[in-house]
Amino acid sequence: MKNGSIIEKVRYPSPSPHVSVFMVTYYSGGLKVKGLLAEPQVEGNYDGFLYLRGGIKNVGQVRVGRIVQFASEGFIVMAPFYRGNQGGEGNEDFAGDDREDAFSAFCLLEQYAKVKKNRIHVFGFSRGGVMALMAGVQFPHTCSVVSWGGVSDMFLTYEERVDLRRMMKRVIGGTPSKVPERYEWRTPLYELERLKAPLLIIHGEKDNNVSVEHSYRLENRAKELGKYVESWYFPEFTHYFPPKENRRLVERLTCWMKQRAENPE
């Protein structure tokens, strides 16, 4: 069985009468992994949208309302829970081997009959920003990559988030000074030259969960390498945007995605 193959697909309650939601079990690197799939009910072919959540385990889980929000803009959305969550096999390891679950979810969208050929976008929030960049590097034909409040540098995360250090040492296998290669492997800034897709960065400058410095470093590195990058910074917002602004930004960024697919630079 190849990565991205759907093993089971079960209807899941949807908060929208216009969007169907399914709990899917799919194949990823020898494991059965879970995720949510949302698609507009109107028949037709749509761009694919890989939604990569933040957090780890029960912190920052996929919210059905969020993926329905994106599906309502005319996308087929796949949101992996990552291995070891919601009954899936394996153990999540914070942008380590669990990146395979993002890659396999990308493959799932490629194999999905209703997704337009070569029209898959990748979106990452918080820790999902790292996963989104990795997926964009892994699949050069990605249409666009969006990092919203996204991590770009695992060394910086360890430095800034004292509350996460114990978890990071346990999951990653040590501190950045003891196992720097494991943090470097989880830091996509070192592989950004391989990114072909246009990049959009969104960040609240009052963010205390993922500092805006992550986005500054990502933007600067992308510009150094001559990549197509746009940045939308919001000095008044934290890690979480007010609902009204959130809805407005979802409309704006999905419009940006479609424009990039139609007019690649």
Residue 203 falls in the annotated catalytic set? no
Q: What sign results for the dihedral spanned by CA atoms 27, 14, 61, 88?
A: negative
d(CA 75, CA 130): 22
Helix (H, G, I), strand (E, B) or coil at 80: strand
Residue 16 falls in the annotated catalytic set? no
The enclosing H or E element of 19 equals strand 19-28
Instruction: Dump strand ranges (E) for 29-170.
Output: 31-40, 46-52, 75-80, 115-125, 144-148
| Catalytic-labelled residue, pool 126, 144, 211, 215 | 126
- Neighbouring C-beta atoms of residue 11, cutoff 10 Å: 9
How distant, in Å, are the alpha carbons of 14, 47, 125, 188 from that of 131? Answer: 26, 20, 9, 9
Burial class (CB in 10 A: 0-12, 13-18, 19+), 208: exposed
**Residues assigned a catalytic role:** 126, 239
